[in-house]
Amino acid sequence: MFDKKKKAVTFSYDDGVTQDIRLIELFNKYGLKATFNLNSGLLGQSGSLLREEQTVSHNKNRPEDVRTIYAGHEVASHTLTHPLLTGLPEEEIVRQVEEDRKKLSELCGYEVVGFAYPCGGVNYDSRVSRILAEKTGVQYARTIVSSHAFGRQDNLLECKPTVYHHREFDLMFELAERFLAAESEEPQVLYIWGHAYEFDIFDQWERMEEFCRLIAGHDDVFYGTNREVLLAE
């Protein structure tokens, strides 16, 4: 379990945006590991988003750069084109997930087995997770439902992260302090998710580096990708 440790920290970031490059540099600086969930059908596209009354770039990394950019971390599926899966028929769900997973596997040079449900709101249900389990090669899938807890996942096809960094930044620091101080015989996981472009909103990169300094370098903590942490035995 976690290289003989009881605690693990893992991060998950969606959309494959160019801001991932800066975030990976930060993670590498502090010895942290993350999983990046990509839409292979949207790679290379440029765009912008309006968030918190701020316009931020939403440019996607090019497919030919994926292997280099995400080296040392994990790439996982986020569907081909980012649709809301709960409103799609089974065959389209399978196509969106499996074609994305296979294309990303080719780009990365290893089999992609992770997944993050796209879109906000209610973006998954038991039907969709059952389809993933029965019809795809996905071995774990992350939701956007914060648990605010550190326990192991009961259902790997409906994984609940601990906290959403952008919406719950203050709480993320509080939970990290609690996580680091906790003593438990049971495995504990601090599981953080978000989008790298969100650090451009109100320029939160320095605060994220502060968090990395806080959480990194603890001898009793394993730092791994989602795959390494969630699929650990």
CATH number, position 51: 3.20.20.370
- Structural domain boundaries, residue 215: 2-230
Number of domains the chain is built from:
1
In a structure prediction context, what are the per-residue pLDDT tens digits for the chain, which is 233 residues long? 798 899 999 999 999 999 999 999 999 999 999 999 999 999 999 999 998 888 999 999 999 999 999 999 999 999 999 999 999 999 999 999 999 999 999 999 999 999 999 999 999 999 999 999 999 999 999 999 999 999 999 999 999 999 999 899 999 999 999 999 999 889 999 999 999 999 999 899 999 999 999 999 999 999 999 999 999 98
Alpha-carbon gap, residue 9 to 185, rounded angstroms: 17
172 Cα distance to chain centroid: 15
Nearest partner of 100 among 59, 136, 143, 46, judged by Cα:
136
Residues contacting residue 175 through CB under 8 Å, at least 6 positions apart: 148, 162, 163, 190
Long-range contact pairs involving 161-164 (C-beta distance under 8 Å, separation at least 24): 161/12, 161/191, 161/192, 161/193, 162/189, 162/190, 162/191, 162/192, 163/191, 163/192, 163/193, 164/192, 164/193, 164/194
What pTM value is reported for the model? Answer: 0.98
Name beta bridge partners: 12.
35, 193
pLDDT score recorded for residue 133: 98
pLDDT score recorded for residue 202: 87
